[in-house]
Structure 1
Amino acid sequence: MPASLTARRLFCLAPLGLAALALAPLATQADTWPSKPIRWVVAYPAGGGSDFLARQLAPALGAQLGQTLVIENRPGAGGMIGTDVAAKAPADGYTLLTGDNGAMVFNSAMYKKLPYAPGDFTPVGFMARFPLILVVNPNSGFASARQWLDEVRKSPGKYSYASPGIGSPHHLAMELLKERSGSFIVHVPYRGTAFSTQDLIAGVLPMGILDTAAGLPHIRAGKLKALAVLSPRRVPQLPEVPSFAELGLKGVDVAAWQGLFVPKGTPEAVVKRLTAEMQKAIALPEVKAKLEDFGLEVAPSDGPALGRFVQQETQFWHALIRERKLAAD
C-alpha cells in the first residue's frame, strides 16, 4: 500500500480515535457513579414545602445509591439564586436541583434577564405537586366559593388578595382565576408564604391562594377557611371542599409542582439511573405516606415526560403572562 494512502487513512481515523478517548472518561464515570456524596440544591428556605420533599426523599434515595445526599438550601430572588448555582455546577451527576414552576416556566417570562436558562438542565423526572387552595379569613364574610365568585365579579377592585410573591404559582393561579372568572382583585405580594399566611390569619387581607403544605394546618385548626381547590377534582385532604370545575368554572387547574433536574450534559446513564432510583424511593410506602400527609400529590415520571410537561406549561403560562402584562422587574 502506498505510504501516502496509509498516511491519509491514519489521518482520517485519528478524529475517531480521539472521540473514543474523549468518551471513555464519561463511560467510566457513569459506571462508577456515585463514588462520593451528592449535593441536592433546593432554591428555597429550609422548612418550606420544597425543602420538606427533598429531605423526605433524600435518605431513601441515598440508601439506594449508596451515598449521602446533602440538601443545600440556596434561597433568594424567587428561586433564581439556587437554580443558577445548580446550572453552573459540573455536569457529573453530583448536583441535583429541585425545579418548579417558577424556575423552569414562570421566571423566563416574568423577568427580562435570567442568570440561567431552563435549557441549562436535563429533566430527571416529575416528583410531586402541591394542590392550590383559595382560602379566606373566617371573618371575611365569604361562606362558599359560589358566593365568592358572585361577589368578586360584581365588585371589581373592592377586594385584595395575598400571595407569597410576584411570579409564584400562587400569584399566577389567582391571575388565571381572575381571567377565567372575569373578575378584578388587587394583588398584594409578600416575601414568602409565612408572611402572607400570617396576614391572612390576622385578617389583614381577606383572601389568598395557599398550597396544601402551607394551608392545611391552618384550615384544620379553623384559622382559615378553604373555599375551593384549583384542581380538576377534590383533593383527598379536603374532601368537603369543591373544585372550581364543579362550580362550572373550567380551565382552572394549577398546582405548585416539583421536578428533579441535573445540569445539562450529565451522562445519560447517570440520568437514567437517577430516574429509576427516584421513582423507586418516592413510591416507598413510608415515604409516600409522609408526603401525602403533608399535602403533596405524588406523581413520579421519567425525564422525557417531565420535559414535555415543562414545554406545555411554558406555552400556556407565557401566553397568559403576556396577555395580562405581568412582570417581576
Structure 2
Amino acid sequence: MTRGPGRRAALALLAAPALARAQPAWPTRAIRIVVPFAPGGPTDVMARVVAPGLQAALGQPVVIENRAGAGGNVGAAFVARSAPDGTTLLIASTGFVVNASLFRNPGYDPVQDFAPITELGASPNTILARPDSGIASIDDLIARAKATPGGLNLANPGTGSTPHLTAELLRLRAGIEFVQVPHNSAALAVQALLSGTTQVGVAALPPAHAQVKSGTLRALALTGQARWPDLPDVPTMLELGWDGFVSETFQAFLAPAGTPAPILQRLAQETIAVLGVPETKARLLAAGFGLRPQGPDALAKRIAAEVPLWRDLIRRAGLQQE
C-alpha cells in the first residue's frame, strides 16, 4: 500500500487529538502571585485588582501572598527559586530592577532568573507634605531643608524604591539634605505622613491619591511627563523647570526563568484582557495607575533599559550597597 502525502496528512489529523491529550493541561491547581511588599501599597493594589479576572479566565484560584523584606528582595528571590511551572508568579515594582545595583547580593538576577509576562502599569511619584507643615511648593521644601540642620526627615516606601531614589535625585540637584526614613510599604510611608511622624515624603501616586484628592496630604509635584487627569492643579517637576526630572514606579508581572512559553503566552494574553475591561481600567486610573499592558517583549526592553539607568543614579548618589 502506498503512503503518499494524502495518507500522511490523514494520519497526522488522526494523531493530533492524541498529541493534544498528551500535553499536560495548565493550570491544574491554584496559582500563587507573590507581592514582595506588605499589603496596601501600589504593587499589592495592582495584584489584587488583576487576580480576580485571572482567576475567572484560568479556572483556578489565584491567591496573593505578601512576602515583604529587604526592599522587595525576599519575595523576588523566593519566586526566582520556585518551580517554573506557572503556579508561582511575581508582581514586582521598579525596585525589582533597582536592587540589582543597590544591593551587593539581592538574591536574584532581574534578567537571568525571570521570564517577563507583561508590564501592568506605571505611576508617577509624588512629592508630598502635610498641609500643616507650611510647605506648599517645591521651593518651600528646598528652603525648609536648607534651614534644617541635618536635613528634613522624609518618608519613603523602602530603600531602593523609586520614591527613595526620587528624593535622592532632588537632593543632588537642589543641593539639600534629607534624612531618609524607609518603610516596608508605600501605605506605611503615607501613614507616617498622616500621623505626623514626618512632615514630607515621596510615594508613588496610587497610595497617596485618595489623600491628595481629599486634601489630607498636599502634593507639591508629580514626576511624570504630564499632569494627572484628576489632579489638574498639581504641577510636574518638568513644568517647574527641572529638566529631565521624570521617575515612575511601574508594576511588572513575571515568572521564574524556564517557565514554558505557552504558559507565559497564556498569562500575557489573559492579563492584557483583564486590564482591557473598561471597569478595571477606570478603577486603576482612579487609583493613580496608567496602564501599560504590552506583553513580554516590551517588559523585557524596559527591564534592560532601567537596570543601568538606576545604577547610574545610585552611583552618583553614593548610596551604600547592603
Aligned to 1:189: 182
Instruction: Provide the TM-score with structure 1 as the length reference.
Output: 0.84
Moved more, 205-214 or 188-197: 188-197
Match of 1:114 among 101, 106, 109: 106
* Match among 255, 270, 275 for residue 277 of structure 1: 270
Question: Residues of 2 paired with 1:82 and 1:181: CA distance?
Answer: 34
Q: 2:249 aligns with which of 249, 253, 256?
A: 256
Match of 2:23 in 1: 28
TM-score normalised by length of structure 2:
0.86
Aligned to 1:46: 39
1:186-225 deviation per Cα after TM superposition (whole angstroms, max 9, x unaligned): 3233344344323323444321102222212222332211
The runs of 5 or more residues in structure 2 that have no matched partner are 1-18
| Structure 1: distance between partners of 2:277 and 2:313 | 37
Q: 1:207 to 1:269 in 2, by over 3 A?
A: same
Whether 1:67 and 2:60 are equivalent positions in the alignment is: yes
Q: 2:80·2:113 contact (CA, 8 Å) conserved in 1?
A: yes
Q: Is the 8 A contact 2:157 2:182 kept in 1?
A: yes
Pick closer, same or farther for the CA change 1:204–1:59 going to 2, 3 Å: closer
* Aligned mates of 2:64, 2:84 — CA distance in 1: 18
**1:73 is matched by which residue type in structure 2?**
N
**Larger displacement relative to structure 2 (261-270 or 140-149):** 140-149
For residues 89-135 of structure 1, the C-alpha deviation after alignment (integer angstroms, 9 at most, x for no partner) is 111122211022112x1111111112222120011110012321111
Structure 2 match to 1:217: 210
The residue type equivalent to 1:71 in the other structure is I
**Cα distance change of structure 1 residues 194 and 51 upon mapping to structure 2, 3 Å threshold:** closer
Query: How many Å separate the matches in 1 of 2:196 and 2:65?
Result: 35
Q: Displaced runs of 4+ in structure 1, greater than 6 A?
A: 153-156
Identity of aligned residues (%): 36
Q: Report 1:143-292 matches (<5 A).
A: 143-149=136-142, 152=145, 157-292=150-285
1:156 positional shift: 8.2
Once the two structures are TM-superposed, the CA of residue 57 in structure 1 deviates from its matched residue by 0.9
The equivalent position to 1:294 in structure 2, one of 287, 290, 293, is: 287
The corresponding residue for 2:30 is: 37
Match of 1:99 in 2: 92
Which residue in 1 is equivalent to 2:74?
81
Structure 1's 234 and 89: CA in aligned 2 closer, same or farther, altered over 3 A? same
Residue type at the aligned position of 1:212 = L
State whether residues 151 and 176 of structure 2, in contact with CA within 8 Å, keep that contact through their aligned partners in structure 1. no
Is the 2:155–2:183 Cα contact (8 Å) retained in structure 1? yes
Task: Kindly state the Cα deviation for residue 160 of structure 1 after the two structures are TM-superposed.
Answer: 3.0
Matched residues in 2 for 1:49 and 1:196: separation? 12
Report the alpha carbon displacement of residue 272 of structure 1 after superposing the two structures with TM: 1.4
The alpha-carbon deviation at position 296 of structure 1 amounts to 1.4
Quickly say closer, same or farther: Cα 1:67–1:326, change in 2 above 3 A.
Answer: same
**Structure 1: any 5+ residue segments left out of the alignment?**
1-23
Distance 1:64 1:198, change over 3 A: closer
| Partner SS, residue 127 of structure 2 | strand
> 1:232, CA displacement in angstroms?
1.2
Q: Classify 1:153/1:231 alpha carbon distance in 2 versus 1 (closer, same or farther; 3 Å).
A: farther
Q: Following superposition of structure 1 onto structure 2, how do residues 118-133 of structure 1 map, counting pairs within 5 Å?
A: 118=110, 119-133=112-126
Contact preservation (8 Å) 2:38, 2:184: no
